[in-house]
């Protein structure tokens, strides 16, 4: 067995990989491959860790965890989190529908995203769901819709805090500074436009400014980043307070997300190879900085809802991806000794590039997990692309029928699956102890073609 760190809900038993109390080989045999598998236990444990840690250091108000639907937009997964009391951040009508079908209380939903159309604003105002304004025109739309319905549109401003004293590079793009990237990214209202908007609230009786929202993303896991971000958020709160009529104070402050997963195995983050702080370290710096900076500006934090969005950190280690070896090839001509394991998954199911010199996720042979990993092999996918999932990676001697698993695939992987080569997309199952159930069925070939229309002249 290779040296591999497993999260507490994965284990090796009698040479096989288990997730909770389920044998992954048996899961693959019963449900088929390729397949996404989610552990309900670790998902719940991760949510509780964030909720409890942040609430511990913020006794004066409510901590609301707003896990991003986009990381895993599955209704059953959302219902698990709703049962636990977790709120959610949604982007667009599809994710809002996921939240509604997932039983999230209206007040614990945020309608986020750029280019909001009249339909989503109408729905949010109707249900009393807070709307995160991403441009200045949306403010007018909210007033018009609120007046039309005779209701109050609850809004937050998505701000772009300027971290003037932060000279840290971004983990996404190390050649660029976080300070610059948070200003040039499309999300959020430019500060100059926020200032223009503030006087308008006095003449908008059907709009209520509840607070501010930001989301910088996974630029850094260093506490200094979070300290600078929260300091800059509070600086903007002061600007907004001074620019609106009356003695305004936010009821909700969302500091967004970007928290790393504990093991921090991320395919979309370039730099992960430094220490990951404990959740409590993030909780201390975020809540402590918020309190200190609010007090410095003469504001109390008592009763303010403080929101965090740990989607990546919550979901990542909850999932694994199972797939099967269908063919083995072995080249011994031309002085070569080269093996390929042809599998039924693909780069297009895993949101990775076509040539992975290093496996993009930890890779385990589920039915040979305790055998020596001493044979080099290209693990390749099913599409017509180069589709090398792991180049000359050390595995046990593989053979047709072996079940493999990529670990830590719970966040932002399944939502990116596509139908390249007209392939049906994989399904997803949820493990709870010693039970395993469908939460998203595999796509059928007929469903792949369900949107195709042949004009009558081509019949």
Residues in the chain: 459
**Cβ neighbours for 109, distance < 8 A, ≥ 6 positions apart:** 87, 88, 90, 96, 99, 100, 129, 130
| Tens-digit pLDDT profile for residues 217-272 | 999 999 999 999 999 999 999 999 999 988 999 999 999 999 998 888 778 888 98
How many Cβ atoms sit within 10 Å of the Cβ of residue 83? 11
Within a domain: 59: no
> Do 293 and 436 belong together in one domain?
no
> Do 124 and 220 belong together in one domain?
yes
The 22-23 sheet, strands edge to edge? 10-13, 16-19, 22-23
Quote the pLDDT of residue 270: 87
> Do 153 and 220 belong together in one domain?
yes
Within a domain: 58: no
| Tens-digit pLDDT profile for residues 106-142 | 999 999 998 999 999 999 999 999 999 999 999 999 9
How many Cβ atoms sit within 10 Å of the Cβ of residue 67? 29
> Do 299 and 154 belong together in one domain?
yes
Query: What's the domain range around 198?
Result: 113-309
Report CA 195 to chain centroid distance, whole Å: 31
Quote the pLDDT of residue 357: 95
| Domain boundary residue, one of 309, 326, 344 | 309
Positions in the chain whose pLDDT score sits under 50: none
Query: What CATH number has the domain bearing residue 22?
Result: 2.40.37.10
| Domain boundary residue, one of 309, 332, 358 | 309
Quote the pLDDT of residue 1: 59
Read out DSSP for 186-208?
SSS--HHHHHHHGGGGGG-TTEE
> Do 265 and 322 belong together in one domain?
no
Whether 363 contacts 406, CB under 8 Å? yes
> Do 155 and 288 belong together in one domain?
yes
Within a domain: 287: yes
> Do 341 and 303 belong together in one domain?
no
pTM: 0.95
In order of 100, 113, 277, 288, 458, the CA distances from 82 in angstroms are: 10, 21, 27, 28, 48
| Domain boundary residue, one of 267, 289, 309 | 309
Domain count within the chain:
2
Query: What CATH number has the domain bearing residue 240?
Result: 3.20.20.10
């Amino acid at each position: 067995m290779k040296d591999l760190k497993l999260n507490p809900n994965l284990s090796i038993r009698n040479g096989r990989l288990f997730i909770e109390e389920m044998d992954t080989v048996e899961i693959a045999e019963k449900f088929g491959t390729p397949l996404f598998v989610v552990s309900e236990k670790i998902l719940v444990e991760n949510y509780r860790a964030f909720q409890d840690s942040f609430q511990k250091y913020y006794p004066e108000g409510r901590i609301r965890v707003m896990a991003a639907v986009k990381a895993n937009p599955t209704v059953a997964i959302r219902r698990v989190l709703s049962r636990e009391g977790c709120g959610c951040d949604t982007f667009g009508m599809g994710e809002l529908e996921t939240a509604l079908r997932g039983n999230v209380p209206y007040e614990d939903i945020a309608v986020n995203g750029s280019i909001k159309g009249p339909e989503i604003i109408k729905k949010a105002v109707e249900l009393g769901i807070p709307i995160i304004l991403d441009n200045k025109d949306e403010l007018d739309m909210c007033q018009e819709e609120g007046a039309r319905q005779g209701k109050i549109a609850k809004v937050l401003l998505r701000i772009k805090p300027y971290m003037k004293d932060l000279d840290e590079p971004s983990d996404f793009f190390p050649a660029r500074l976080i300070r610059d990237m948070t200003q040039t990214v499309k999300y959020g209202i430019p500060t100059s436009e926020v200032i223009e908007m503030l006087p308008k609230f006095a003449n908008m009786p059907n709009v209520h400014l509840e607070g501010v929202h930001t989301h910088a993303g996974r630029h850094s896991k260093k506490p200094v980043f979070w300290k600078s971000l929260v300091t800059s958020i509070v600086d903007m709160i002061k600007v907004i307070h001074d620019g609106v009529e009356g003695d305004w104070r936010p009821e909700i402050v969302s500091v967004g997300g970007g928290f790393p997963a504990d093991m921090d195995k991320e395919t979309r983050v370039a730099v992960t190879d430094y220490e990951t702080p404990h959740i409590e370290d993030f909780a201390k710096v975020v809540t402590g900085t918020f309190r200190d900076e609010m007090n410095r500006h003469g504001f109390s934090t008592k009763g303010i809802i403080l929101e965090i969005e740990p989607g990546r950190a919550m979901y990542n280690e909850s999932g694994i991806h199972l797939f099967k070896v269908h063919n083995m090839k072995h080249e011994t001509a031309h002085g070569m000794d080269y093996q390929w394991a042809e599998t039924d998954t693909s780069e297009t199911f895993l949101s990775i590039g076509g040539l992975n010199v290093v496996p993009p996720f930890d890779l385990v042979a589920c039915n040979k997990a305790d055998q020596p990993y001493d044979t080099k092999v290209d693990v390749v996918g099913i599409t017509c692309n180069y589709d090398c999932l792991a180049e000359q990676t050390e595995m046990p001697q593989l053979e047709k029928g072996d079940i493999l698993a990529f670990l830590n695939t719970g966040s932002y992987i399944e939502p990116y699956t596509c139908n390249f080569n007209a392939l049906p997309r994989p399904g997803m199952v949820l493990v709870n102890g010693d039970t395993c159930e469908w939460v998203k069925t595999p796509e059928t070939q007929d469903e792949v073609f369900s949107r195709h229309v042949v004009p009558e002249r081509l019949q």
